[in-house]
Amino acid sequence: MAGLAAWWRARLATVALVLPVLVLPVLVITLLPVTAAARSTLGLPDFTALVKKNHRAVVNVSFIPDATSVASDAPASPLDEQIRRFREEAPGIDDADSQGSGFIISRDGYILTNNHVVQGVGEVMVSLHDRRQLRAEVIGADPRSDIALLKVDADNLPVVSIGNSKALEVGEWVLAIGSPFGFDFSVTAGIVSAIGRSLPSENYVPFIQTDVAINPGNSGGPLFNL
């Protein structure tokens, strides 16, 4: 089930606002196909039903930064600093037309994403799974927990299944859906590495640590458990 880390945390599970982790090149080895029945026998997780149920409610969030915005002199938060440092070190990241992810929480067009995805930007656009592109309004944001609420003018949209982060346990299998490097609706999986993590700041916001492959463009997308 999907949900948010921190904001609404009594009701929701977690959002993939996990700090991005670069994926190292790996050697791809072709193996014989493994059926769902075989995976079950081997004790391996099968994410296919989870993906089919929720992937249509995941969106791509894109924007063009507002050229008239003025940089703030206020010190950056530890989370902002981590994100800035990663974006500087990550290859091929273009701030002129940046992207993130989000997920639909109501059929009438409310969408959750990360605050840093839409903070201080110009026009925000949301791409749905059916390839429709809609303008989005930023309804509200909470920089402390890095959460933002968007609204698009649409009805009868698919929504994610919301979970409860308090029920999450270390070692659980989890899955992320997002748009790393602009590759829409990409799926990666891993486990919950720790819960109740926090960044070195005065405010305690419990984050979920995971080893799921997360890259620029995944920010704001959902993290599902089985």
Q: Catalytic site residues?
A: 116, 146, 219
Specify the 3-state DSSP secondary structure of 167: helix
Number of CB atoms found within 10 A of residue 134's CB: 18
Q: Which of 160, 132, 137 is nearest to 58 (CA)?
A: 160
Q: Which of 43, 71, 45 is nearest to 175 (CA)?
A: 45
Determine contact, residues 168/11, Cβ cutoff 8 Å: no
Determine contact, residues 112/148, Cβ cutoff 8 Å: yes
- Stated length of the chain: 226
Q: Which two tokens stand for residue 67?
A: 């050229």
20, with CB counted inside 10 A (0-12, 13-18, 19+), is buried
Q: Which residues pair with 103 in a beta bridge?
A: 58, 112
